[in-house]
Structure 1
Amino acid sequence: MNPYVQVVNTCLLGEAPHWSERTQSLYYVDTEGTAVHRYDPVTRDHTKATIAGLGSVSLIVPVAGEVDKYVITTGRELQVLEWDGKDDRPLSLEPILSVDEPFPNNSFNDGKCDAMGRLWAGSVNPFALPNASLYKVDHGIGTTMESDIRISNGIAWSNDNTLMFYIDTATRRVDVFDFDETDGTISNRRTVYNFNTVGELGSPDGMTTDVNGHLYVACFGGSQVIKIDPEQGTKIGSIRFPTFNITSVMFGGANLDTLFVTSAQSGLSQPILVSQPMAGATFQVTNLSARGHSANEYNL
């Protein structure tokens, strides 16, 4: 693939892109910069609000049926954020729940909503110890769905919502569960694509799917997004970027045919940052001949 790539802006640790069809805007976070961002690709307007003093911010998802309300994470807490998308400070924050109480050094990491509006979000241990978890949050009630996780990351669903793809970055695998959409349960975990056995560059981070059922996986430390056929367990394409730490991906735009890709300055030495001035940029990738799915919102 040789798509056109456009730089949007720069973060310390860009993550969790979410395309809102309601506002025709891209929302994402700067985890280490503790900020939420909004970007309009038509007007190129970019705004952000800093969430000060509450820890890392790892995801943002609009609340279904509400204007200017989102669920976000701050440290180990899930909160409802009220933000007009313009001011540099939130209008309000209201805690929903806290996770990993026995492990105060842990924090929330990546997460997305399923088609029923349940939030699936995991945690991360700063030393990659296996004491993090994957949670399902349904109308404010959190349930532990997987334990012994190190770095909970990318989540995506198959077109028919019978499969949930999942990444624990420390394993360097893309796994899949059987998914029961009605009950919101997962089972029969197995591996779709193993970075270790194929010698893939980087480690799997965030991911998304297209309407053809292909996976797009951000490769942290690998300077790329790879395209995977999950039925065959094979890589069928890659997109290269001018910086090492690619963090997450999401289709968006009016036709859901633009791939937004976040990246990070975090973890790079000063000499590398000098040689990679686009580190931390959010990239806008077109001409992929692929379309994504509408992103799900959270049912509060």
Structure 2
Amino acid sequence: MSYLNPPEFVTKMIDAGETKAFMSTRDTVIRAYMAGAILALGAAFAVTVTVQTGQPLVGALLFPAGFCLLYLLGFDLLTGVFTLVPLALIDRRPGVTLRSVLRNWGLVFVGNFAGALTVAVMMAVIFTYGFSMEPNEIGQRIGSIGEGRTVGYAEHGAAGMLTLFVRAVLCNWMVSTGVVAAMMSTSVSGKVIAMWMPILIFFYMGFEHSIVNMYLFPSGLMLGGDFSVMDYLLWNEIPTVVGNLVGGLTFVGLTLYATHGRTAPARNRPAPRKAGAPAEETRVKADA
């Protein structure tokens, strides 16, 4: 599997964040657009499989195919750059500023949304035969997902918002773990295996992913879901983006950086005790 140990792949994380911070606007948007589109296709595929088989686990098992594909092609998701790019700032890489970090996040958000929306329109055409008929069974399911995960949260008020936020935190804890896990290996098979596991967990558990939602919710609106654009923004997308940022940066980026990128000095070990020497004598010598 060509495994890299944690200090090695944490250095790769920081290097990747630095590269993304200085990437041109054109390349950043293109890569983000393609990432949003491919992940949206993966989500459409997973929902289709779930509806046709009646087994959500089967859909979750197959959903990571889209994530692995976009990562291997070098495209960028907002959830990934939330974790990687700030590390270059924290590590004080020359030229990396808060402005460059925010610029990267903004461009990736726009690109991801445009890519996901493109696929949402295409799939809505397929599910309705060019909007000439009611959505098929898969289209109806997507509409119900959008309704349940906007209005459904709103019905619980503050408790619903808290639940949404926590689901978003847990989501990017897993998704960013998948991004980082791919850096543990230099082989394609190793990268795919490492990415597959945490992505499977996030999708099956129903955690909230801001880019997947960029496909599901606009698509749901086009397919007759009973919720509004404002419901989508206030009761899903905006809190999900914030939760994804907290989850990826706090539980993946900063923790790995703190313990493997900037490892604390090891504690002094006591001197080895000689055979037959009293334990107290050994401690005294060690202290001296």
TM-score range, shorter chain: under 0.3
Larger RCO, structures 1/2 (Cα 8 Å, 6+ apart) = 2
User: TM-score under structure 2 normalisation?
Assistant: 0.23
Q: Please, what TM-score do these two structures have when normalized by structure 1?
A: 0.23
